[in-house]
């Protein structure tokens, strides 16, 4: 008989996501009775209304206002808005301006990727109580003095325990050996310090974090000085050594300890990316744009994006392209179950995020730095590329990406030209339109803007978590996270940690999703 298992709240980040699942009993390989998820529904529980409050305002306020969609990925929203404005005003950033925009976005992305693995993923796998006990007893000090010292320091400085997962403390669900368990717990704390460094890097050129005040259409108002470049460089070097020596090895070690998650949480495998980090005026990207549908690479067609709303609490029409999209809240709509819209690409639910960026580039006919990096990683963990559409695939691609972006950030920093202009002069047009596509840490982000009589007339955002956590569409097709949960077995429905691990591998941010 089917029963319901509800995860709420699911995320350890902004916003409220509830996952409703229907489960049926199933006999597990060890003979015990577990439960299998038959179907899942993602519910975004709140309404934000940025698309409603922007019309009527000065277009130059847009990139400030939209950064408030999120404190975790504000730079992505700011840049999507700036790119939409640059298209409307007919300008491009200066060389310094483009590199500064890249560097601020890169710092924000590195901060976010560390946050995801250490603060959101680890509490699902690390037994924090065991780490604390090991540390208090001093039992591990002899085996791993570094880990023991880091934990002792952490407890002494009052950070306390990380937020517990829905299932933390349940015996038998954790299986890391004590040294690795304690080491990862210590890195949880070290990652907090690394994230502060990343925020400082973003603030050096972004003027403040979160919510930069220096980003403008055409570049950045912060000038390039030798002092700023050096101040950024020392921080980036520190961050790079943490990413190379600790982050990536930690991800691989955790994946080795829980190898079944290479086979769990896959879903459709339809992937979409707009391409990330502009390398030149012509629009060449570090990681290219594209989609994968049914295992095959295709070029991106931005006209194929629509948003469906049959199950969303809005009364506006369905299947509109975002340049025409509307957001009219309707909390009493029959059958609707989420404030999140359902973006679709040619009618298909698409997963976005680091996995999409890396696998699209891996299968792309064009050269990409993602190919050799992924090849090496897959050889190291002994998996084929087909295993990447999984919990570990998402997490491993995020770590590889952190390493690649940090490396390129060092190059962009070296290419800055002190004394040269960081921004392009421009005029706000009285009438015009444009859209801006960015890869946010969590995936493809688009802002569509129309200006009439010098004011914002129309503004729509289609956001990474809107794609991933979308509800069913008009045809009843589940969203990517809903699909990834289908068939997943839960050992104990009172403690659905397997479902938490799958959902959190997408790194959902609900404040962004409902914007
Ligand atoms: Ni609130 Fe965001 C990112 C964006 S996710 S974190 O990354 O855009 O939907
Ligand atoms: Mg929207």
Distance 143 CA to ligand 1 centre (A): 40
CA distances from 344 to 251, 305, 481 (A): 31, 6, 14
CA distances from 271 to 178, 296, 389, 471, 502 (A): 37, 10, 10, 17, 17
The per-residue pLDDT for range 472-494, each reduced to its tens digit, is 999 999 999 999 999 999 998 98
Question: Residue written as tokens 């640059």?
Answer: 86
Please say if the pLDDT value at position 157 is more than 70.
no
What was the pLDDT predicted at 15? 85
Please say if the pLDDT value at position 166 is more than 50.
no
Q: How far apart are CA 90 and CA 346, in angstroms?
A: 29
Query: Which pLDDT band holds residue 167 (cuts at 50, 70, 90)?
Result: very low
What is the percent of the chain where pLDDT is above 70?
Answer: 92
Distance in angstroms between the alpha carbons of the first and the last residue of the chain: 38
Q: How far apart are CA 187 and CA 172, in angstroms?
A: 23
For 256-270, the DSSP string reads HHSGGGGSSS-----
Please say if the pLDDT value at position 154 is more than 70.
no
Outline where 207-294 has alpha helix (H). 226-242, 248-257
The per-residue pLDDT for range 330-369, each reduced to its tens digit, is 999 999 999 999 999 999 999 999 999 999 999 999 999 9
Question: Residue written as tokens 């990652």?
Answer: 191
Q: How far apart are CA 99 and CA 101, in angstroms?
A: 5
Residues 62-91: what's their mean pLDDT? Answer: 98
Distance 46 CA to ligand 2 centre (A): 13
User: Does ligand 1 have an atom closer than 6 angstroms to the CB of 76?
Assistant: yes
User: Does ligand 1 have an atom closer than 6 angstroms to the CB of 105?
Assistant: no
DSSP assignment letter at 396: H
Answer with the residue of higher pLDDT: 152 or 124.
Answer: 124
What was the pLDDT predicted at 514? 98
Query: Which pLDDT band holds residue 132 (cuts at 50, 70, 90)?
Result: confident
User: Does ligand 1 have an atom closer than 6 angstroms to the CB of 515?
Assistant: no
Characterize 259-273 residue by residue with b for buried, 16 or more Cβ atoms within 10 angstroms of its Cβ, and e for exposed: eebbebbbbbbbbbb
For 439-470, the DSSP string reads EETTEEEEEEEEEETTEEEEEEEE-HHHHHT-
C-alpha 442: how far from chain center? 2
Please say if the pLDDT value at position 302 is more than 70.
yes
Please say if the pLDDT value at position 179 is more than 90.
no
Mutational test site, ligand 1, from 445, 448, 479, 481, max ligand atoms within 8 Å of CB: 445
Query: Which pLDDT band holds residue 182 (cuts at 50, 70, 90)?
Result: confident
What was the pLDDT predicted at 171? 52
Please say if the pLDDT value at position 122 is more than 90.
yes
Contact present, 401 and 358 (Cβ < 8 Å): yes
User: Does ligand 1 have an atom closer than 6 angstroms to the CB of 441?
Assistant: yes
Query: Which pLDDT band holds residue 169 (cuts at 50, 70, 90)?
Result: very low
Distance 46 CA to ligand 1 centre (A): 16
The per-residue pLDDT for range 372-398, each reduced to its tens digit, is 999 999 999 999 999 999 999 999 999
What phi, psi does 300 have (nearest 5°)?
A: -75, 135
Residues 276-305: what's their mean pLDDT? Answer: 96
The secondary element (H helix, E strand) that includes residue 307 is strand 305-308
User: Does ligand 1 have an atom closer than 6 angstroms to the CB of 513?
Assistant: yes
């Amino acid at each position: 008989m089917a029963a319901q298992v509800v995860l709420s709240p699911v995320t350890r980040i902004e916003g409220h996501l509830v996952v409703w699942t229907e489960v049926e009993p199933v006999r597990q390989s060890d003979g015990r009775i577990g439960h299998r998820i038959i179907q899942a529904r993602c519910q975004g529980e709140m309404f934000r209304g940025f698309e409603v409050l922007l019309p009527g305002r000065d277009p130059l306020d847009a990139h400030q206002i939209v950064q408030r969609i999120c404190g975790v990925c504000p730079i992505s929203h700011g840049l999507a808005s700036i790119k939409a404005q640059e298209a409307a005003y007919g300008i491009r950033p200066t060389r310094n301006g483009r590199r500064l925009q890249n560097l601020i976005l890169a710092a924000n992305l590195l901060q976010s990727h560390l946050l995801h693995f250490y603060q959101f993923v680890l509490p699902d796998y690390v037994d924090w109580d065991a780490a604390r006990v090991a540390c208090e007893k001093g039992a591990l000090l002899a085996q791993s003095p570094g880990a023991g010292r880091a934990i002792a320091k952490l407890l002494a400085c009052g950070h306390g325990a990380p937020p517990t997962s829905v299932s933390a403390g349940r015996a038998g669900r954790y299986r890391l050996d004590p040294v690795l368990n304690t080491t990862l717990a210590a890195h949880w704390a070290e990652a907090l310090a690394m994230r502060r460094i990343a925020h400082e890097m973003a603030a050096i050129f972004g003027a403040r974090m979160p919510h930069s005040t220096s980003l403008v259409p055409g570049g950045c108002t912060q000038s390039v000085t030798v002092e700023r470049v050096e101040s950024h460089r020392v921080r980036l070097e520190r961050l790079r050594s943490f990413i190379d020596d600790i982050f990536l090895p930690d991800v691989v070690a955790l994946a080795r300890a829980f190898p079944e998650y290479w086979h769990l949480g896959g879903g459709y495998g339809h992937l979409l990316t707009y391409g990330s980090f502009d390398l030149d005026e012509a629009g060449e990207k570090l990681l290219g744009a594209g989609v994968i549908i049914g295992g095959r690479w295709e070029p991106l067609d931005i006209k194929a994006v629509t948003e469906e709303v049959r199950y969303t609490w809005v009364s506006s029409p369905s299947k509109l392209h975002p340049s025409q999209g509307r957001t009219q809240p309707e909390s009493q709509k029959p059958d609707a179950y989420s404030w999140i819209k359902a973006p679709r690409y040619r009618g298909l639910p698409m997963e976005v995020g680091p996995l999409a960026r890396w696998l699209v580039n891996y299968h792309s006919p064009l050269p990409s730095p993602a190919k050799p990096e992924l090849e090496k990683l897959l050889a190291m963990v002994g998996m084929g590329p087909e295993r990447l559409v999984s919990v570990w695939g998402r997490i491993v691609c995020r770590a590889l990406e952190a390493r690649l972006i940090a490396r390129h950030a060092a190059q962009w920093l070296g290419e800055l030209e002190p004394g040269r202009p960081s921004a392009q002069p421009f005029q706000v047009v009285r009438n015009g339109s444009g859209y801006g596509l960015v890869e946010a840490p969590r995936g493809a982000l688009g802002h569509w803007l129309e200006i009439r009589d010098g004011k914002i007339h129309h503004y729509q955002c289609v956001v990474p978590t809107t794609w991933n956590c979308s509800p069913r569409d008009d045809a009843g097709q589940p969203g990517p996270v809903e699909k990834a949960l289908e068939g997943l077995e839960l050992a104990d429905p009172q403690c659905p940690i397997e479902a938490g691990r799958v959902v959190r591998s997408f790194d959902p941010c609900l404040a962004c999703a409902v914007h």
